Amino acid sequence: MWKRAIVALAVAGVFASPAFGETPSPASQPGPTDSKIVGPVLYVSSVEASLKFYRDILGMSERSRFGPADRPNVSLGYGLDPRQPSLMLVSDRTAPTPRKIEHGHGFDRLVLLVEGLPALQQRLRAGGFVTTDARKIYETRMMVMATDPDGYRIELIGSDPAG
């Protein structure tokens, strides 16, 4: 379980070399240099309910809306730079009512590096969202787990105020 969290943090750039090994030179990396991870796509039962969680509480910016005007999908991220990773919220536009989200066994959680973790945890709880108590991880970080409106687990990592 921790291995997956460390991999997610490494992808997010939380652990930079040399602490976790040497970074390969660009010449030794396969593939085109303009390749990148765009970000995850979450199927949600209500884009508007998810926007309240990701935009209004977690502080992400709405980068774009796409799809039909009456049931749009949304791309979000921290800041408006489209070159940075995005989180896409998509819904079933053909169903007359939202379908129940069924979580498989492959996806575990989305990991976000955030500022002001204690205040964010308070906003989540004030908004009616359940979070775990903050706990220290990786010697200098604090972690809180939260759950979005559709049951997706979100790991929020911030600096340890005491560290």
CATH, residue 128: 3.10.180.10
The token duo for 153 is 């687990």
Where is average pLDDT lowest: 37-41, 80-84, 99-103, 156-160?
A: 99-103
Model confidence pLDDT, tens digit, residues 20-68: 345 555 556 666 667 888 899 999 999 999 999 999 999 999 999 998 8
Residues 125 and 82 reside in one and the same domain: no
Residues 87 and 62 reside in one and the same domain: yes
Residue 80 domain flag: yes
Please determine, for residue 131, whether its predicted confidence score (pLDDT) is greater than 90.
Answer: yes
Domain that holds residue 153: 107-163
Residue 8 domain flag: no
Residues 52 and 85 reside in one and the same domain: yes
Residue 29 domain flag: no
Strand order in the sheet with 61-66: 41-43, 87-90, 73-77, 61-66
- Residue 135 CB burial class (10 angstroms; 0-12, 13-18, ≥19): exposed
The number of domains in the chain is 2
Please determine, for residue 12, whether its predicted confidence score (pLDDT) is greater than 80.
Answer: no
Residues 44 and 83 reside in one and the same domain: yes
Residue 7 domain flag: no
Residue 26 domain flag: no
Residue 23 domain flag: no
End-to-end Cα distance, the chain? 25
